[in-house]
Amino acid sequence: MALELTVPSMACSVCADKITKAVQKVDPNAQVQADPKSKIVSIQTQHPETDIKHAIVQAGYPVA
């Protein structure tokens, strides 16, 4: 499943790395592309969207 989420508080590459690691804790096989400039996180995963969003929020980045 492909997800495209907006994360307004993602400001830099460190933020992108934290978000990527948070998603990969839920789904180690997830493919994550986080772009701080556009504030978009694109994710390929087999896990439910709610689980992925929850992991990102728990990492400190609210999803719009």
What's the CATH code of the domain at 27? Answer: 3.30.70.100
CA distance 62 to 55: 10
* Residue 63 placed within a domain: no
Tell me, what's the pLDDT at 1? Answer: 93
* Residue 52 placed within a domain: yes
pLDDT per residue, tens digit, the chain (64 aa), is 999 999 999 999 999 999 999 999 999 999 999 999 999 999 999 999 999 999 999 999 999 9
CA distance 29 to 38: 24
CA distance 17 to 46: 20
How many domains would you assign to the chain?
A: 1
* Structural domain of 18: 2-58
Q: Which DSSP letter does residue 42 get?
A: E
CA distance 13 to 26: 20
CB atoms closer than 10 angstroms to residue 17: 12
